[in-house]
Amino acid sequence: YQLHALSRGLFDDQGQAEAARRAGELLDATDDPLVQRAGALTLTRIRRETQLDAADAELVKVVALRQATGDTEGQLGALQERAALLLELERVDDALDVAGQLVDLHGASGDREAEQAGLEALVELLVGYGHIDRAATLCNDALFRANGRGQIRAAAAVRGLMALVLAAMGQVDEGVAEARAALQAAEKEGYRPLVASVQSRLGRVLLHAGAFSEAREVLLEAMNTQILTRGRAEQATTLQALAAAEERLGDGPAAAQHLAKAGRLLMELGDVSGAVGTLHEALERYDDLDLHEEGSRVGTFLVGLSASFPPAEQLRVLHGQGTRLARAGRLDDAAEAFR
């Protein structure tokens, strides 16, 4: 908790230095390898704010540590973190090398689905950081390999990814057509997790196209399938896209509800930063709609997380929750929050 509080903490240069110093002391004081691995990544994130090159050097150590301790999941997370950092540094070739390690690690067991998951994470990362041409090249290469191996499912998944790339390039109509073709191929295979994944990407492309009603319909169907197939990581992305569609359609309460669900899911998946940001988005919408009772339920969850926040952030969360409870008529609960 102390390490998490530090990682969310102080954003000026002096504060960064102090946070990094304190995080280093906490790491030196423990022999627990789990705390050391988590703490090393936290320390890297603190230093990222002002010293990106130094942070990259530390991430190299984190990857090596997690590999040495057999923590494959942790190694995957650290590699993805490093690839994102290198993209921020505009070291695209190095980022692609690291991301290639990510894909190789996913596929080391011979599990083609795991290898595909690594590729999808990489393409999403490149699109998110605006390296669209590189993402397109990767998709084209992956589609060539999938077709050469006769991997129909992999080809359908890659075409769903390519739809997102096309939309990001401004070729929205082509992206919609590609996503529909990918969905048709996935439905022909009858593999429900793949169908849901492609539906989710079709929904996101339809958002680019301004087809908000159809996007909501497709995303709802994807979400329901992901609930059944336990595709929790993809479900969080689907819920966030669904909220965007609902907001554009004027259904603010549904948008807030789905953002709250996405936030809780991200927390269960261990993405604390993503969870907190998404929960704050949900609260903003509930507050704007004067839905104070509904917002207070999300606020209660966020207050539970705030024990690991810096004092100023913790006070902000508690003050917001107290105000929300007072407006909902729950004065005793509000007084407790303000206390």
User: 200-236 pLDDT, tens per residue?
Assistant: 999 999 999 999 999 999 999 999 999 988 778 789 9
Query: Helix, strand, coil proportions of the chain in percent (round to 5)?
Result: 85, 0, 15
**Minimum mean pLDDT among 80-84, 174-178, 275-279: which range?**
80-84
Confidence of residue 5 (pLDDT cuts 50, 70, 90): very low
User: 51-65 pLDDT, tens per residue?
Assistant: 667 777 777 887 888
Listed in sequence order, the residues at least 6 apart from 18 whose beta carbon sits closer than 8 Å to its beta carbon are: 10
**Minimum mean pLDDT among 11-25, 98-112, 210-224, 270-284: which range?**
11-25
Tell whether the model's pLDDT for residue 309 goes beyond 90: no
Say what the pLDDT of residue 64 is: 85
Tell whether the model's pLDDT for residue 238 goes beyond 90: yes
Angle CA 214–125–218, to nearest 5:
15
Tell whether the model's pLDDT for residue 15 goes beyond 60: no
Say what the pLDDT of residue 120 is: 81
Say what the pLDDT of residue 176 is: 97
Q: Hunting for tokens 């075409």 — which residue is that? A: 159
Mean pLDDT of 259-266: 92
DSSP string of 256-317, one letter each residue: HHHHHHHHHHHHHTT-HHHHHHHHHHHHHHHHHTT-HHHHHHHHHHHHHHGGGS-HHHHHHH
Say what the pLDDT of residue 332 is: 87
Say what the pLDDT of residue 8 is: 46
Most confident of 8-17, 79-88, 174-183: 174-183
What percent of the chain shows pLDDT beyond 70? 78
